[in-house]
Amino acid sequence: MENALPALRLLVDGLERFEPLTVDAREAIFQTDCVIRSYAAGRYVLRENDRADFIGVAVDGFAYSHKQTNSGSRQILSVIMPGSTLVPENIFLSRLDCSVQTLTAFEVGLIPRKALRDLTMSFPEIATSFGTMLALDAAIFKEWMLNIGRRDARERVGHLLCEMAVRLSKSRSPTDLSFNLLMTQEQIGDSVGLTAAHVNRAMKALYSEGYLIKEKTLLKFPQWEKLCVMTEFNPEYLSYS
């Protein structure tokens, strides 16, 4: 149980972004069963249509949720970063409505769905936090839908990269925004509804126009404000308030 404490602390921190928790609520979470699992890159953590027996908390590494057509075409629905709760809507669903696959080596804490449901029944602030978490995820899904449906290739790719920069940055200062881009062009394309070839052309355009600089895997944003205007990126939809 002791090795599960980092995952449970991340869950507490995530919930308290939305609603302060009482001492009793925090203690109840820390007493909850949690199993730590490690996965290599490219492995499945959860599969669509399986029983939703567990809710995951990302401890280390990156993953993504996705759905596939019968022909094998994939749509990435979200990028999962350390501290994220994996598909939190599954607390209310009996079966998984999407799959979660690792992007890098990945460590996750798996908490029984029933245990979390019981916590929401016992502590209203935990229920409120989960509800707000779901509302925030819905806001992000809406922005992704707009991005895929109504922006051109360059704008789609730029918007996704802006979102990832803000989510990964500890600072909201434009001069400090940068991150290691670990997604392939195919994975970026599956996130924004483009082929890898279209992503390649869009990335080349963003580099040549000075919006982005890449040093090995480190992606920098020398014209952050102009890129936000061009892609219509407004980080308010990522807000916790």
Measured CA to CA, the distance from residue 170 to residue 37 in angstroms comes to 26
pLDDT of residue 127: 96
Measured CA to CA, the distance from residue 169 to residue 159 in angstroms comes to 15
Residue where the block lists tokens 């609603």: 19
Q: Is 49 left (phi over 0), alpha (psi -120 to 50) or beta?
A: left
Q: What pairs with residue 107 in β-bridges?
A: 38, 60
Residue where the block lists tokens 């019968």: 70
pLDDT of residue 172: 56
Separation in Å, CA 191 to CA 10, 98, 148, 185, 199:
26, 14, 8, 10, 11
Q: How far is CA 6 from the centre of its chain?
A: 18
CB-side neighbour CA atoms (13 Å) of 35: 8
Separation in Å, CA 151 to CA 28, 147, 161, 192:
45, 5, 14, 10
Mean pLDDT, contiguous 10-residue spans, the chain (241 residues):
86 95 97 96 96 95 97 96 93 92 97 96 96 94 97 98 91 74 97 98 98 95 97 90 52
Q: What is the DSSP letter of 84?
A: P
Q: Is the dihedral of CA 25, 171, 216, 205 positive or negative?
A: positive
Domains annotated on the chain, with CATH: 2-141 (2.60.120.10), 151-238 (1.10.10.10)
Q: 10, 36 in Cβ contact below 8 A?
A: no
Q: How far is CA 103 from the centre of its chain?
A: 11
pLDDT of residue 1: 56
Q: 116, 228 in Cβ contact below 8 A?
A: no
Measured CA to CA, the distance from residue 105 to residue 125 in angstroms comes to 33
Q: How far is CA 230 from the centre of its chain?
A: 23
Measured CA to CA, the distance from residue 1 to residue 34 in angstroms comes to 7
